[in-house]
Structure 1
Amino acid sequence: MSELSVPGSAEELTVETLDGLIARDHPGTRVARFELSNIKRYGQEMVSSAGRANVRLEFAYNPENLPKEVLMKLAREDLLPAPLYENEVAFYRILRPELHLATPRSLGGAYDSATGNFALLLEDLGPRDPHFPNVLDHISVDRVEGLLDLFAELHAGYWDTPRWSGDLAVIQSHVDGHIFEFFEKIAPGFVAIEVENDSFKKEMVAALGTDVPEMWAGLRRVQRYQSTGPLTMLHGDAHLGNTYALGDGSVGLLDWQLAVRGNWAHDVHYLINTALPVDVRREHEVRLLKRYLAKLSAFGVASPPSWDTAWYDYRLALIWGFFIGWLITPRINYGPGINQENVLRMKSAMADHDTMSLVRELVGAPERVAS
């Protein structure tokens, strides 16, 4: 359990708790007072896996010039996604300090394994004129290119790094760790309920000529294939809604709860297919994928995937975006419009690329053990 006091709600926050959260990563910083506002809980205004509140800090001492406007993420009342909370705190404490990508700065965070509570203090992007898009917005192909460049930079920095067996061995993957165990426990049942009770999702699954048990077994086989390498650091939940654009035109990434080591196509397929309408994606996806591969080289990857390998991995990865990305997601998380459009886009990509045939072939093939 964390030695810090981790509040179960925004209303439990104290100056002492803030000092404890912040001083661990920013020694010497002290809070004098704070104000809470805009407290949101699960199901309110796009709040899905964690609650949130805005915090205005007044510092007694602030030697690192930390931001005064802060977004605090907190556990949902049911604590169901506790492994995701643990993982996001680990990302911000272990990896965020060494990243040069555009993603909010962390003031501090903690996860309490005994209670499942977590608190994460992040820079509030509000003063920087942000746009937080969703799948119902019109997003230019140019913006998608900029986001893919971010992923290429992230992926290149950890491409088959020997650190996976050293200081980064603590980073989880899709085939081991608490994130793996979390989805192993809940995913088949949750998706089955969603498909049974949501006529649109049921129709999309039927149109692909498959069912929940086959997709789940196939997804797990795909992830074992992906674990054989090359491995890199993934955002892990790279749909359009976890991105932002600032007033100066720059773009960045949000919400690192599913950050793991894994196959590059996991991030790339999910961004392209949630960011672009089906017809636009069909027109541009080959060029976008080739751009991403070129950027890997530009960022220092000596041997990026060949085109044939990349195209195979991209088409295979689509099963995650459909099954875990959106079949599992209840409408309360984002509303019916966003949910349905994402399901449609992912289903259409799987149909276009005959992903289930690729999955069935892989399931029937001998497995190679991850190195």
Structure 2
Amino acid sequence: MGSSQVLLTAAQVAARSSIERVLPSRPRTAQDVPRSAADLTDEWLTAVLCRDVPGARVVGHEIHGGSDGTSSRRAVTVAYDEAGTRAGLPTALFAKSAASFQSRLFLVLSGVTESETIFYRDIRPELDRLRSPRAFHAASDRRRYRSIVLMEDLAVEGWSFPDPMSESLSLADAEAMVDQMAYYHAAYWGDPRLEQRFGLPTTAAFQERLNQIGIEKRALVGIERARDLTPERLRRRESELLPAVMRALRRNSAGTQTLLHQDVHQGNWMRDPSGRLGLYDWQAVARGEWALDVSYALAVNLTVEDRRAWERGLLERYLERLGEEGVADPPSFDGAWLRYRQQPFHVVVFALLTIGAGRLQPDMQPRDYMRRCWHRIATFVDDHESLDALDEPDRA
């Protein structure tokens, strides 16, 4: 997609948004994709929530609270008639949509809405031990620049969503992260359905979509804004960072394919009622080699000191868990250590993009949080000489 196509799409999204302000959406059938939670109707909720219960219908709903960032998130309380109540249909829901002009432009152009729909509709039901919300309905409409996921509201079941700036992660927390990643990686290790049935993009293809809408320009701004947090040795090689991104992702995309979350920063982890960490927000889901998720998670979510002290043990644990989850021939530690060192560049560009955000980007993360993330990421890249690791030969 060239710059002229991007401008044309931006104009189309703006025009669609203007029309919808004058003519609000009234979704009625399951084929309709509401613009946002504000447009939900009892008729549409009946179509998507009551389809398997004859005679059941939604008789009322309320929208509560919520927040806006890359997407818009709202809690939804639903009331049913006697048939729906007797069947135990869900009453506490959470709606996630691309409601604002910025989020619709960003998410549609990058293909995010389609991939997230695929995850919640087709993949999530197969992962019974994943600590992550289940969806009751997920749909996207590329023609109208809309998407919506209607999922269970875990907050009412005792799950918590801690502020990453006020919570430090323990070794047990890091182990829980590693275990969850090993579980969903093993479930789709080398699985051709990721491409042939689900149609997920590779990590390189996912990033190429972002590059087409000016992401690299914003990342360059991010480098300038975050220079004071970059280790001196890495500052001298700043010009190599963005070219390394696609080198790393092409290598990642050529490895053994598995399911990747791709955005495993601390703000996307929650705690179940027993305190165990679980993962949500699958907007960036893609297919590629395992190390992208693992290096991202440990680089961003642990303090520099803890990551240095724990990372070898955590990587050993991850490889052991792969075998326990059914991967017949997990990577060797030496080979995995090299991949781990080579694969922080996806989070490099994600962090710099967010720090360098322009006016057409949605507000994705708080500034102080992203500055902390960048300090940890840049230190990881410096510690592991990741730029040079991309040139090292593979190890058995």
The question of a shared fold, defined as TM-score above 0.5 by the shorter chain, is answered with: yes
Work out whether 1:56 is the aligned partner of 2:56: no
Corresponding residue for 1:356? 387
Deviations 1:177-229 (A, max 9, x none): 6x642344332112123334x2x3465286512235x3222111111111222
Corresponding residue for 2:183? 153
Structure 1 residue 357 displacement after superposition: 1.7
Structure 1 residue 35 displacement after superposition: 0.5
Structure 1 residue 3 displacement after superposition: 7.1
Structure 1 residue 95 displacement after superposition: 0.5
- 1:31·1:58 contact (CA, 8 Å) conserved in 2? yes
Corresponding residue for 1:369? none
- 2:63·2:76 contact (CA, 8 Å) conserved in 1? yes
Corresponding residue for 1:44? none
Point out where structure 1 has 5 or more consecutive residues left out of the alignment: 42-47, 367-371
Deviations 1:283-330 (A, max 9, x none): 000000000001101111111111111001101111222222x11114
Pick from 228, 236, 240 the counterpart of residue 266 of structure 2: 240
CA distance in 2 between counterparts of 1:167 and 1:18 reads 28
Corresponding residue for 1:335? 366
Pick from 249, 253, 262 the counterpart of residue 227 of structure 1: 253
What one-letter code is carried by the residue in structure 2 that aligns with 1:218?
Answer: A
Deviates more, 1:59-68 or 1:107-116: 59-68
What one-letter code is carried by the residue in structure 1 that aligns with 2:35?
Answer: G
- 1:107·1:121 contact (CA, 8 Å) conserved in 2? yes
Structure-2 change in CA distance of 1:30 and 1:210 (3 Å): farther
What one-letter code is carried by the residue in structure 1 that aligns with 2:368?
Answer: G
CA distance in 1 between counterparts of 2:254 and 2:47 reads 40
Corresponding residue for 1:35? 62
Deviates more, 1:258-267 or 1:80-89: 80-89
Aligned with 1:334: secondary structure?
A: coil
CA distance in 2 between counterparts of 1:191 and 1:313 reads 24
- 1:232·1:261 contact (CA, 8 Å) conserved in 2? yes
Answer with 1 or 2: which has the greater Rg.
Answer: 2
Matches within 5 A, 1:61-210: 61-62=83-84, 65-78=88-101, 79=104, 80-82=106-108, 83-100=111-128, 101-136=130-165, 137-164=167-194, 166-168=196-198, 170-176=199-205, 180-196=208-224, 198=225, 200-201=226-227, 204=230, 207-208=233-234, 209-210=236-237
Structure-2 change in CA distance of 1:96 and 1:27 (3 Å): farther
Structure 1 residue 76 displacement after superposition: 4.0
CA distance in 2 between counterparts of 1:3 and 1:207 reads 55
- 2:183·2:322 contact (CA, 8 Å) conserved in 1? yes
Aligned with 1:107: secondary structure?
A: strand
Corresponding residue for 1:45? none
TM-score normalised to the size of structure 2? 0.81
Structure 1 residue 165 displacement after superposition: 5.6
Structure 1 residue 23 displacement after superposition: 5.2
CA distance in 2 between counterparts of 1:87 and 1:202 reads 35
Aligned with 1:4: secondary structure?
A: coil
Work out whether 1:313 is the aligned partner of 2:332: no
Deviations 1:2-43 (A, max 9, x none): 97322223322211222344357x5656322100110433xx
Structure-2 change in CA distance of 1:89 and 1:23 (3 Å): farther
Deviations 1:116-167 (A, max 9, x none): 1111111111122223234421111101101211111111111112434643
Pick from 282, 296, 299 the counterpart of residue 322 of structure 2: 296
Structure-2 change in CA distance of 1:215 and 1:246 (3 Å): same
Corresponding residue for 1:345? 376
What one-letter code is carried by the residue in structure 1 that aligns with 2:354?
Answer: T
CA distance in 1 between counterparts of 2:304 and 2:257 reads 29
Corresponding pairs, count: 349
Aligned with 1:227: secondary structure?
A: helix
Corresponding residue for 1:8? 35
Aligned with 1:244: secondary structure?
A: strand
Structure-2 change in CA distance of 1:207 and 1:117 (3 Å): farther
Q: Give the alignment's Cα RMSD to 1 decimal.
A: 2.4
TM-score normalised to the size of structure 1? 0.86
Identity %: 29
What one-letter code is carried by the residue in structure 2 that aligns with 1:4?
Answer: Q
Structure-2 change in CA distance of 1:299 and 1:215 (3 Å): same
What one-letter code is carried by the residue in structure 2 that aligns with 1:105?
Answer: R
Deviates more, 1:30-39 or 1:14-23: 14-23
Structure-2 change in CA distance of 1:134 and 1:265 (3 Å): farther
Pick from 278, 293, 300 the counterpart of residue 274 of structure 1: 300
CA distance in 2 between counterparts of 1:66 and 1:345 reads 44
CA distance in 2 between counterparts of 1:64 and 1:116 reads 34
